[in-house]
Amino acid sequence: MSKIIIIVITVLAFNSFHFTKAFGASLPPTIVSEAAIVLEANSGQILYEKNSKNQMYPASLTKIATAIYAIETGQLDDLVTVSSNARNAEGSKVYLEEGEKVTLNKLVQGLLINSGNDAGIAIAEHLSGSVEEFSNNINTYLNNVVKVDNTIFENPHGLFDSEHVTTAVDLAKITQYAMQNKVFQDIFGTKELDWDGETWDTTLITHHKLLKGEIPYKEVTGGKTGYINASGFTLATTAETNKLSLIVITLNSSTDDEAYHDTEKLLDYAFNNYETTTIQKGTIFKLENEQYRTVKNIFYTSSINWKVNKSVNSDGTLDIIEENGDLIANYQLEKKNLATPNIVEKGEKGFSFNLVSTFLVLILSLIALNLYFRFSKSSNPNYRE
């Protein structure tokens, strides 16, 4: 019996090893959320997805878009006068009072940290005059600036509207875009904040259990929760190590425990199987007699179980290819003109054109001076050695 057990264990281990080598990573986790995605923020590569392009209700994950739109298009030190419409908002609030004056920055904090629907309406009315006009404006912004195309927002907060929809991949891209902004990044990662309102003094504490440490996960850097009956539990999470910068979106979980458990499994899967590499700006690549270089830092994410090859194509693009033949990414390079002056780049040996030119001019000048003095000596009859 013991021999059979040893044989079974050996076979399972052998198959597991060969599966990892064949596919470059361990099996993706099984999750219960209806839709999900894991996006690496620096490279933009998708490491996991499930129904990521299905239009769904986002609930309060909408506020990620509202926040970055307000930060980029508004003046954060503006004083906003709260309307009765904002004051009477349904759902989660920061308990604004009609006529209260609050800075736009404080409203964005209340929007993201405490999921204040009243803050969302106050922001919308301040920026666009009405919730309806705000919806038109933010949809244009999301299409033209953030470059998502399956999102339609009818309000700034995510309360139910049958036409208020987005996708997991769009939410990941919106979060990726927003996290490039330092103001958004700081607020999105805030665990608690003292709140001094006209009628409500408290300490706001993020609702996101991974961010505030209720569920320990030290790599988590930011997050937003959401829930309405039609959407189920929705969750946006950012997490980072020196090898990966992750964005995880889960949509329509039956319970918040399911949403968090799925998120943990997706984070574990990505951190255990992938890494992102940087190719520095100015790195030289050769193709026959031509040279090409990167015009900016570029990033690619690959399986830690695979080696990576780099290949330059005749059109000047760089292919990043895993050893199993899969194309990871493709980047446009700049052709390097060797006939013009340029600074020596990483990966290039020798002198720069300017240095060589200076050296040649100096040599020619010395030769000319030598010839001049020789000519002067031979043409002067009074000259004696």
pLDDT in tens, 265-312: 999 999 999 999 999 998 999 888 888 899 999 999 999 988 988 888
Q: Is residue 194 part of a domain?
A: yes
Which band of pLDDT confidence, cut at 50, 70 and 90, is reported for residue 368? low
Q: Tell me how far the alpha carbon of residue 272 is from its chain's centroid.
A: 19
Same domain? 208 vs 125: yes
What pLDDT sits at residue 326? Answer: 85
Q: Is residue 88 part of a domain?
A: yes
Which band of pLDDT confidence, cut at 50, 70 and 90, is reported for residue 80? very high
Taking residue 132's Cβ as centre, other Cβ atoms within 10 Å add up to 12
Which band of pLDDT confidence, cut at 50, 70 and 90, is reported for residue 9? very low
In sequence order, what are the beta bridge partners of 284? 293
- Average pLDDT in the 56-67 region? 98
Same domain? 264 vs 285: no
Asked whether the whole model's pTM tops 0.85, one would answer no
Which of 33, 50, 63, 93 does the annotation list as catalytic? 63
Which of 33, 43, 52, 60 does the annotation list as catalytic? 60
Which of 43, 83, 115, 253 does the annotation list as catalytic? 115
Residue 83 has pLDDT above 60, yes or no: yes
Question: Judging by beta carbons within 10 Å of its beta carbon (0-12, 13-18, 19+), is residue 270 exposed, middle or buried?
Answer: buried
Residue pair 117/90 in contact (Cβ under 8 Å)? The answer is yes
Tell me, yes or no, if 224 is annotated catalytic: no
Distance CA 318, CA 324 (A): 17
Same domain? 74 vs 164: yes
Residue 110 has pLDDT above 80, yes or no: yes
Same domain? 271 vs 284: no
Q: Which amino acid is at 235?
A: L
Residue pair 311/322 in contact (Cβ under 8 Å)? The answer is no
CATH number of the domain that residue 99 is part of: 3.40.710.10
Give SS3 for 334: strand
Q: 303-350 pLDDT, tens per residue?
A: 998 898 888 898 889 999 988 888 988 898 988 765 444 433 333 333
Note down the domain range covering 98.
29-275
What pLDDT sits at residue 364? Answer: 65
Same domain? 314 vs 186: no
Q: Is residue 76 part of a domain?
A: yes
Tell me, yes or no, if 83 is annotated catalytic: no
Q: Tell me how far the alpha carbon of residue 381 is from its chain's centroid.
A: 82
- From the list 114, 113, 131, 112, the residue with the least C-alpha distance to 123 is 131
- From the list 296, 338, 303, 298, the residue with the least C-alpha distance to 321 is 303
Q: Which two tokens stand for residue 358?
A: 């200076």
- Average pLDDT in the 226-247 region? 98
Tell me, yes or no, if 63 is annotated catalytic: yes
Same domain? 208 vs 86: yes
Write the secondary structure of 115-175 as one string of H (helix), E (strand) and C (coil). CCHHHHHHHHHHHHCCHHHHHHHHHHHHHHHHCCCCCECCCCCCCCCCCCEECHHHHHHHH
Same domain? 118 vs 259: yes
3-state helix, strand and coil shares in percent for the chain, rounded to the nearest 5:
40, 25, 35
